[in-house]
Chain A
Amino acid sequence: MFALPQKNFRAPTTCLGPTCTQDMDRSHGDDLEGECSRKLDQKLPGVGDPVMLSSDTSYLSSRGRMIKWFWDLAEEGYRTYHMDEYDEDKNPSGIINLGTSENKLCFDLLSRRLSQSDMQWVEPSLLQYPDWRGHLFLREEVAKFLTFYCKSPVPLRPENVVVLNGGASLFSALATVLCEVGEAFLIPTPYYGAITQHVCLYGNVRLAYVYLDSEVTGLDTRPFQLTVEKLETALREAYSEGVRVKGLILINPQNPLGDVYSTEELQEYLVFAKRHKLHVIVDEVYMLSVFEESVGYHSVLSLERLPDPQRTHVMWATSKDFGMSGLRFATLYTENKDVATAVASLCRYHGLSGLVQYQMAQLLRDRDWINQVYLPENHARLKAAHTYVSEELRALGIPFLSRGAGFFIWVDLRKYLPKGTFEEEMLLWRRFLDNKVLLSFGKAFECKEPGWFRFVFSDQAHRLRLGMQRVRQVLTGKSQVAEDPHPSQTQKPSDQCSSAELLKLCFSPGPPSPIKQN
């Protein structure tokens, strides 16, 4: 579960040398997923330089140095993309990004809506210190919105809503108020890898993985199926390793699988959590991005009775469903007053502008526009893009998973890895990048099996076409680039750990981990 070499935890500097490049690439993929699309053109000093970790030359605290080191690694990798970003006119041979999960299909609709006159409003209370949970008018709108779209059997209440500047902040705040340092959340893998940083950076909370695999065995009906049995096993293992598990994180619709849990499944997971007194954080950030009508999506808030309402905490945001990741708006819904209050106590540090809160309230209130204009169009465009990419993949004879939700397809490229190692996965990912298309690889999602990739399809047709063309070139061996064996990466990946894992362990300021090396 935490199969980490002990040396990495005790003395992080020891892994800086030979694994540097590898870790960089790992964090690279992870950070594409992790929203880290920063645009930097200047090389920062000390990137990947172990010397910077020595306290003699640094102005930072030891945790500051560690955090910065990981950040720079991510940045270094990501710079490749941003220095050569595709632009139809200015840089047609630049890199196409099918790695970051962003919905770029509906900017025209959003721009029109957000430019309407009702959005431009200023009043004194919007300019002054707010109720840190979020302005009441917005929390009321959020409650109504979620009641309607989550099909809640009872009206949801504004006092159970807390508004923050993004899902990352919300994960961070929940981890801090629900767990002590070093405690853990269960999470089924593959999962949205950035959560590792979100719960770790301030909270020093770790993740205990529930590994799912692609093979359909036993009672499973589909690949990567989550079952209570697997949850129980993972929990037992965590306990046996001395890891205190405080909760379970579920992403529904799932990222990167695109799976949607049935009500029965959801109910089973929740009952499991209740049995073990675990909190459940349900991240429903893609709930309105279910574009296949045949898929019946059920929010956890639609359940008649929650097994353990005091320990069930729901997250939603506008980043994905409304394609506004730069707007920084996320919301918590929890019936647990203590949790809501504790999260709100942190909101001074994770607040969003009053004017933006007003605009969000206006947007969420406009049910006509959402139902008649935005959602039908968004779904139609997502569906078209999805159809295009899946047909391309079928034509190439590539297996993939996709259930009609989210912005991505989980693609099985295992047949392109002769030895089936993560090292080869990395090399393949690099070949894609060399051929100017950026994807996310399975390791960034802590996928157990090497060879899975996530393709984001929610981009404009011209970019998508070009991206798929470049993918095809690589897979059919017709790419223009010479194959580069990248000798620096010949180490066995099994000796290493992902940067996320290292980050999680290295700068933890708490007492030494109870995890024992075995």
Chain B
Amino acid sequence: MSENRYGGAGQPAGASTDTWSISPWSDTHPVPSGQVLRDQSIYTQLLEMMLHLRQTMSEHFVQLMSRQGLLQEQRHTEAIREQEALLDRLLCQMINLLQSGAMSGLELQVPLPSEDSRGDVRYGQGTQLSGQPDPVSQLSDCEAAFVSRDLSNRGIDISALYQSKSQGYNAYQKDKYHKDKNTLGFINLGTSENKLCIDLMTERLLESDMNCIEEGLLQYADWRGQPFLREEVARFLTYYCRAPAPLDPENVVVLNGCCSVFSVLAMVLCDPGEAFLIPTPFYGGFAFSSRLYAKVELIPVHLESTITAINTYPFQLTVDKLEEALLEARLEGKNIRGLVLTNPQNPLGDIYSPDSLMKYLEFAKRYDLHVIIDEIYMLSVFDESITFHSVLSMKSLPDRNRTHVIWGTSKDFGISGFRFGALYTHNKEVASAVSAFSFLHSISGIAQHKLCQLLQNTEWIDKVYLPTYRFRLRKAHKYVTAKLKSLEIPFHNRSSGLYVWINLKKYLDPCTFEEEQLLYRRFLDHKLLLSCGKAYMCKEPGWFRLVFADELPRLKLGMRRFCDVLEEQKQDLRVKQLKPPASQPASCSGTP
């Protein structure tokens, strides 16, 4: 179990380089063959070792200097410093070499206009967002070693982690499908973005009430969010979460996005190396957000797809599983500070019943755990027969001072570019601690005004927006699931969220995460971006998340490409199965 974790964050932040590099994404890169994959994992390991070594040595020298600098002569100190500089330079060069090797192995081969793109794109593209046309020079010579020396170790790690995670997304950003201008561009069914109601939102945002320039909006304001916006958020959540009593604006903190809220909560609830429990599969952004600044570990509570005596439905979360994961982690010496839940769940689309929710909360209370509940999809439930129960709707929370709710407009209103996320917590201490970070995550006064106007207009939301949005979600979902059924692809049939969780195991032989990667790669080669299960820490290889909240023409084209890839994959499998089995990797665990 432990090797599947976002391992090893149990050190102080200063020694955290290695924890950065064992990223959930370090092995999610598309690679052409098993051989390269093995090489890549050696590179990755070496890279980690070198980074660690560099950190250790620099610390050692700092200590050496501070101990002797005052006692001994200047000359001695200088000698040490020279020696250090030399070692540092050498190590940097080695890291760079390794990195360039690793990167070239990892490289997402962005298809270029030329047919034979694979040979051309060896470095670069994925590591540079800038579109600079000199990819090869980046990491190949002495100058390159010099360049990378400019970043701190954590700077290198942040960059590498981000780059590796967003290769597919960056490729999409550079080469988006457009119905007239770029018909061969990428279709993105990988990023969970609601593109179904842009027409409604555009219309709404252009109405005259949205445009307001007041002195207060242009000046420094309450960092927790303008009082008018926090009041509106409290009112909005009271209404849509069906809170038994009016929620208090003083318990609201607004920041520029839910990932910022989560990141800050991790900062103020945990010390470096402490951990949260989180059921898998889960939204990969949590892993990024908890590691980036806070250095907080996520301990997975692995859920399984098979239905058994304990599992009454696939990927069921039970208190037993929570207890087991908690105790196991504690045995390993982890300090678990909380539990992270997403409801409606991403990527499963599951909705927790009030009973289950209560059980999870009681479990948390029993062990003094905080519960962070991300309800960012709460209005994206598109089957009318299903009722979503927000944690804020509960008559009494088992531990209200440890229950923290996140919501934002990104998904439910399809405005991820707005950068708005809200925290609701009854705990004044937590609200105040989160506020201390808000000057680094603040929202423009002008945007705050627009958000306030948007949330205020309940009539428009109830009568125009939500019915249309849900109708369109339903339609898109129906279209995609019908396709999946016709392809006999099993999927997790739920009625919330912007995605379906699909099972492509039958296209993998052997059923490993390597093969999952290869399939992911194949989708990319066909200009289709999906998300694979590994990015959600799913324990079983072969799961993918397919986002359907896109306009029908793009969705149709995406599904056509999807079918093409699977057809091609099927054909390859047939050929492969005719070959002798000796060259196949034996393991099915998938994690290198």
Contact = CB atoms under 8 A, between A and B. Distances in A.
Given A201-B437, A202-B293, A509 B271 contact: yes
A72 B432 CA distance: 8
Contact of A510 (B13, B58, B435): B13
A213 interface: no
Interface string B139-163: 0000000111011111110110111
Contacts, number: 325
Interface stretch (B191-199, B301-309, B380-388): B191-199
Interface stretch (A7-15, A38-46, A88-96, A409-417): A38-46
A126 B205 CA distance: 12
Contacts of B592: none
B33 interface: no
B433 A67 contact: yes
Interface stretch (A129-137, A423-431, A443-451): A129-137
Contacts of A348: 257, 259, 288
Interface string A15-37: 00000000000000000001111
Contact of B159 (A244, A341, A349): A341
Nearest to B447: A353
A20 B274 CA distance: 30
A250 B213 CA distance: 33
Nearest to A82: B222
Interface residues of B, number: 109
Interface string A46-69: 100000100000111111110110
B159 A44 contact: no
A165 B443 contact: yes
A240 B147 CA distance: 27
Contact of A180 (B152, B257, B401): B152
B201 to A, nearest CB: 6
B151 A339 contact: yes
Interface string B55-78: 100110011011001100000010
Contacts of A39: 221-222, 227
Contacts of B201: 122, 127
B436 A61 contact: no
A497 interface: no
A181 interface: yes
Interface of A is mostly: loop
Contact of B211 (A120, A176, A356, A515): A120
Interface string B331-362: 00000010000000000000000000000000
B415 A338 contact: no
A355 B269 contact: no
Interface stretch (B128-136, B474-482, B570-578): B128-136
Nearest to A322: B218
B150 A338 contact: yes
Contacts of A244: 58, 62
B550 to A, nearest CB: 11
Nearest to A68: B433
Contact of A326 (B146, B155, B221): B221
Contact of B213 (A40, A114, A350): A114
Give the 6 A-B CB pairs with smallest separation, nearest first: A242-B66, A177-B155, A64-B268, A345-B162, A510-B14, A159-B130
30 contacts: A40-B222, A44-B429, A45-B428, A45-B429, A59-B370, A59-B430, A60-B429, A61-B267, A61-B274, A64-B430, A67-B267, A68-B429, A102-B220, A124-B198, A125-B417, A126-B417, A166-B440, A166-B442, A169-B440, A177-B158, A325-B220, A326-B221, A349-B289, A350-B256, A352-B444, A355-B450, A356-B447, A509-B13, A509-B295, A510-B12
